[in-house]
Amino acid sequence: MTTTIDPTAAAAGASVSDKLSSSRSRLADSEETFLALLTTQLKNQDPLSPLDSNQFTAQIVQMTGVEQQLMTNDLLKMLVGMSDGGLAGSVNLIGKTVTAASDQATITAGDASWTYDLDRNAASVKYDIVNSQGTTVWSRTDASVASGAHTLDWDGVTAAGQQLPDGGPYKLKITATGSGGETINTSSHITGVATAVQTVGGETVVSVGKLKIPVSSITSVASTS
């Protein structure tokens, strides 16, 4: 069981990371524009009235300020990514049984399973299992499914009769319909033992089996028997 830290990780929250990246991009563009304008200004200044040295110094200070702001934003990305409560706060999840909102599962020892909830009774529920390429490999429709928690077990055999090897991930898409043809809300989750914590793409994730689950999607934690 290991934990890994990416020293250049972006902010854990996608929105924070996006804002910082956007800010850096704008500042970089501003610096390039500033240098181009300053160079043009120096080339075309009036020889009889050259650029005032105080004004030139002020512009240089502005450029330096832009460079410092760029460095500050980079440091903020690192600090937010390292102190997001992710690695430091999530290491204690290792060895615990976690439940997380997820529609993915992997085939293990020839089988895969999902747990899902229906908001209310459904006249029909259609299940589609999709591979990582977005292709539907198996489908089934059940009639009259009661509200509450349910488990869908799949033997890893495709609709064409092919036994798929262990691995994945595979995504479960559920379409639940009421007696009046209305759509019924559903939610899926997985339960398993967390074996590692790491930062992937600026987000803290835990390994559950062969899946990497965002810490933010974990809904419960329990001691493992």
5-48 tens-digit pLDDT: 333 333 334 454 555 556 556 655 666 776 777 777 777 776 76
Domain ranges of the chain: 8-83, 90-222
Pick the CATH number of 90-222 from 3.90.10.10, 1.10.10.10, 2.60.40.4070, 2.20.25.90: 2.60.40.4070
**Spatial CB neighbours of 87, under 8 Å, sequence gap ≥ 6:** 3, 5, 197, 198, 199, 204
Q: How confident is the model at residue 173 (pLDDT cuts 50, 70, 90)?
A: very high
Average pLDDT, the chain: 79
What is the model's pTM?
0.58
**Spatial CB neighbours of 45, under 8 Å, sequence gap ≥ 6:** 51
User: H or E stretch including 219?
Assistant: strand 218-222
